[in-house]
Amino acid sequence: MLRLICASALTGLVAVAPASSQTVLPPNQRLLVGKYHFEEAGLKVGVDLNADGTARYQVNAGRADGFWAVREGRVHIYNKPGPVRLELAGAPTRDSSVALRVVAQLPDGSPAGGLGVTWPNAAGIYYMTDGRNVAGLEDGLIVGEVSIQRDADGKVLATFVMKVGGPNSYRFTYHPSDVEPFDFQARALDARADVLEVELGSASAKLQRVRDRKPVSGTTLLYGLLTGERRRLRPGGHSAGQPFGVL
């Protein structure tokens, strides 16, 4: 069942990340829309990339529904896990010994995993080790919006604004999704996107586009079997014949 990831309302200076709107594909990505299939040596892989941005990913009997997007020239296929919450645990405080401290724990008190922290002048995303991230005074002054993201899909779960002399120590309680999100990557191998190479762990598979074939009526099929050709009636009762088997 497809469910949008959501976040609960946070108190104080912490803002809820807005839900993403429906994906609208730019024209250059519409070529990717379609069904792709690979089957060899007992391995069966299927990928559906739909025009509305939804996706289906199947490996043998396992199947997951989600969504897809193109980032930096690569196709990313994500699932859609259930709701996730990151709640502020108590009022933020001021700690003059650090530039920033963010701590996240699970409801049972154990360290939360799979989260990262970033801010406007940061060199990147700083992943939280043992449920915490501490920026020292040597890292410089941190001012502006700080965001906490989920590592697996980059989902922003909460934000807060750092001001000079204001609170810089935040604690959160993390309620993870029922399943962790995945990110399968793929790329088109030709200009028409007829072949899609999909990563499978340390290996990859080349999936062929599945083309829809026009259905053949029972009358046409029977006639072809008897005469060796296929006739399609035209308006006015005329027909055109061609060798049977050429679709």
- Contact between 10 and 24 under an 8 Å Cβ cutoff? The reply is no
The second-level CATH assignment, the architecture, of 27-82+181-209 is: Beta Barrel (2.40)
pLDDT attached to residue 225: 40
pLDDT attached to residue 13: 38
Domain-wise residue ranges, the chain: 27-82+181-209, 85-175, 215-247
Would 27-82+181-209 and 85-175 be classified into the same CATH topology?
A: no
> Mean pLDDT per 10-residue run, the chain (247 residues)?
28 38 57 93 92 90 85 84 92 97 97 95 91 95 96 90 97 91 86 90 90 56 43 42 35
Helix H or strand E segment including 222: helix 218-227
Helix H or strand E segment including 63: strand 62-71
Q: Which contacts (CB < 8 Å, 24+ apart) does range 110-113 have?
A: 112/172, 112/174, 112/176
User: What's the CA gap between 112 and 107, in Å, rounded?
Assistant: 9
The class (CATH top level) of 85-175 is: mainly beta
pLDDT attached to residue 82: 84
Nearest to 182 by CA among 55, 40, 27, 53: 55
Record the pTM: 0.56
- Contact between 98 and 169 under an 8 Å Cβ cutoff? The reply is yes
pLDDT attached to residue 37: 95
pLDDT attached to residue 213: 62
pLDDT attached to residue 11: 30
- Contact between 155 and 11 under an 8 Å Cβ cutoff? The reply is no
Q: What residues form DSSP beta bridges with 208?
A: 37, 195
Computed from CA positions of residues 144, 149, 155, 157, in that sequence, does the dihedral angle turn out positive or negative? negative
Q: What residues form DSSP beta bridges with 171?
A: 103
pLDDT attached to residue 215: 52
Tens digits of residue pLDDT in 67-123: 898 887 889 888 878 899 999 999 999 999 999 999 999 999 999 999 999 999 899
Q: Are strands 169-175 and 98-105 parallel, antiparallel or unpaired?
A: parallel
- Percentage of the residues of the chain whose pLDDT score is greater than 70: 75
User: What's the CA gap between 198 and 178, in Å, rounded?
Assistant: 25
User: What's the CA gap between 117 and 112, in Å, rounded?
Assistant: 13
pLDDT attached to residue 26: 52
Nearest to 193 by CA among 72, 78, 70: 70
pLDDT attached to residue 42: 86
For the beta sheet containing 15-16, the strands, ordered from the edge strand earlier in sequence to the opposite edge, are 15-16, 156-162, 144-150, 115-118, 126-127
